[in-house]
Structure 1
């Protein structure tokens, strides 16, 4: 897998105080059999403040895991779905000033069968913050990601995911540049 940089995003929502760590993640553009993309609807309040945003499924690499292992585990844990096929899309590097972190997110297009729902295995924090799984067409997803960010963290997360989804759709000819 050759790394493709989709883009870089700087945190313009929280005050910069330097960075002290880098986190590597795998994130899914999970598409079901109807051609809709699944996102986690995150609602609540935490260290970042209020949240009400869509977020791609995904998370950090655990020791000894490959990116492919991570994305399959995260999709099962957060969506309760098995990945049928998985293709690397590209990487986005973004920063989160409030937690002094740079995140390197490798995005994958994952085909899933949303009718074969299994039990999720979410962390305690995920159980609190994940309100629901939302399935949207590509157009609906881009509209939400690009236009419905009210809180600071919503803007950071949704612009990252919008960039990845738009890039994937353009590269596959499903969206004109």
Structure 2
């Protein structure tokens, strides 16, 4: 199966300049019942007021491998111990509003167990992160619903193609 390699632009906010890159590890996470896990963010900040769905993940820390970073992020945001099944690919996108280029490295991961989440103060107080457990169809519908905000559209453009690839891999595995 071919990995995704997408290069997207931010058509929501005007491009003044980009002054930094952020290397990010993200995952489509599934359990043994075929359910998927995402984070729900409820924001009211410079990006506007929005309720969003997003894959779990975050910035790769200095000296950390992508696989180590995604395992750490899944423990923090979902409380999940997970194994990496495969790499799904890379989506390069931009947040012009904060002058950032995002290099999103996506993985397909299987949740092995769940425990306590370890959210940062920002994730708890500013983003009000919670966990969503959805089917593929429910996840696609949720991304569509979140397209009513500028940030929701940027996230959906980045993540729906990855979700569709994960679905294709999942369907091939089950046949």
| TM-score under structure 1 length normalisation | 0.88
Post-superposition CA distance 1:49-84 (Å, at most 9, x none): 112110100001101100000000000000001013
Equivalent position of 1:84 in the other structure: 83
Q: Displacement, 1:172?
A: 5.0
How far apart are residue 119 of structure 1 and its match?
1.4
2:101 is matched with which residue?
Answer: 102
The residue aligned with 1:127 is: 124
CA contact (8 A) 1:24 1:60 kept: yes
Q: Is it true that 1:44 corresponds to 2:43 in the alignment?
A: yes
In structure 1, the gaps of 5 or more residues are none
**1:144 deviation in Å?**
1.7
Aligned length in residues: 170
1:50-61 alignment, distance < 5 Å: 50-61=49-60
| Partners of 2:119 and 2:79 in 1: CA distance | 9
* Root-mean-square deviation (Å): 1.8
CA drift at 1:47: 2.2
Partner of 1:117: 114
For structure 1, which segment, 49-58 or 153-162, has the greater mean C-alpha deviation from structure 2 after superposition?
A: 153-162
TM-score normalised by structure 2 residue count: 0.89
